[in-house]
Chains A and B, each alone.
Chain A
């Protein structure tokens, strides 16, 4: 296996350079990109925060998520831009007057032909319209059709589906043994009590592992609501977080 050496002229434009990197060509156009996902570029490209004055009208019409505005920049100018994310697999997808919802941390960049909105499911963003976007996944993306139930952490996104609903399963808690298990806590939990349930028509995107990309927006959203909990709520949350950390270590 030989690795080709690229120059400004031969670097793939709007295509994958390898499984782990994607090249975007800018010809005076603009792309929205998540902060920190640009690894290299050729040409004259400037990166500006969404709050920059000249971008006002673009942001107002295409970026409807104040929660994630801190994590995004606009690349403009002309040249070629390389995107990558922690060695995750990177893929581009084309939407044609479509809609697709994706985990916020896994969306790397999108064309301004698309509009970005926050999904009703926390931690997910919805893209609407026509254009191309680039997303990262741990391992290749696996497409499945409903009906299916997906572990929340393995879910990458979904297209054309109605919103998923929560599915809870505690069936092993039933019966005499189940009651004993519930009362004593012996036997533990399976860790698979909760899934997102998809029904109807559409496509569900999965990543191959439960390793989740860090999501600053979701964290800020939760932090912003902590004040509503009160002391007892905070104590309860503290316990839940302890149990969750324990489970992650196992």
Chain B
């Protein structure tokens, strides 16, 4: 179901119909045709408990529920958009990178500690991702925002991928994500390479990387 069509690198067309509704960032609609309603939502399909959890976790971006029948164009802040198709697997992404996703996807919030325990917490703190991340599971499409184009790098058990934390956008699949430090004596005296911290992703899946080190 090609519901999401890229008009250009920064603009995305989404067909909305009964049974094919979406959640999107508030204010990210550029234009629409047909009868489409935009209602602010605090829960974004997670229920009250999920909404509270997200609020506590700080993984809460203002979202809106897009319903009705028509075609909507989405875009935000001149950032590139990238569509990820989920087929029963899970996408791990920061809430502030979400542009729009199918309402049929299950959203959740995951504690970084679940991935790597204390190390995960340290990773969240060092990379500025925070202690929580958003998960999307099911069958459907997700559009994420990135500064610069997005590359999808495959991760295989024998081929882990190292990513600059600032360039990391999202990842999917059965992936272990931990912080790798290459910090040495030179970093302490201010003569480091500037690449002291990397994310090391290993397992089976893929990671999405933006062609820029600018966080959004």
Contact = CB atoms under 8 A, between A and B. Distances in A.
Contacts of B33: 144, 147-149
Interface stretch (B36-44, B84-92, B153-161, B185-193): B36-44
A206 B28 CA distance: 14
Nearest to A172: B39
B64 interface: yes
Interface stretch (B8-16, B100-108, B119-127): B8-16
A15 interface: no
A188 B26 contact: yes
Interface stretch (A40-48, A62-70, A122-130, A189-197): A189-197
B62 interface: yes
Helix, strand, loop or mixed for chain A's interface? Answer: loop
A151 B31 contact: yes
Contact of B27 (A138, A144, A186, A191): A191
A149 B41 CA distance: 22
Contact of B77 (A148, A190, A211, A247): A211
B10 A209 contact: yes
A89 to B, nearest CB: 9
B11 A142 contact: yes
Q: Which 10 A-B pairs have the closest CB atoms?
A: A191-B27, A208-B10, A172-B39, A209-B78, A139-B10, A208-B11, A154-B30, A192-B38, A150-B31, A190-B38
A181 B64 CA distance: 14
Contact of B40 (A142, A154, A188): A188
Contacts of A140: 8-10
Chain A interface size band reads: 20 to 34
A247 B78 CA distance: 17
A130 to B, nearest CB: 29
Contacts of B77: 209-211
Interface of A: 138-140, 142, 144, 147-151, 154, 169, 171-172, 181, 186-192, 195, 204, 206, 208-211, 247, 250
Given A195-B31, A206-B31, A210-B75, 8 more contacts: A149-B32, A149-B33, A172-B40, A192-B29, A192-B38, A208-B9, A210-B28, A210-B76
B79 interface: yes
A154 to B, nearest CB: 4
B7 interface: yes
Contacts of A171: 37, 39
21 contacts: A139-B8, A142-B73, A148-B31, A148-B33, A154-B75, A169-B38, A171-B37, A172-B37, A172-B40, A187-B41, A187-B42, A188-B26, A190-B39, A191-B26, A191-B40, A192-B29, A195-B31, A208-B9, A209-B10, A210-B30, A250-B62
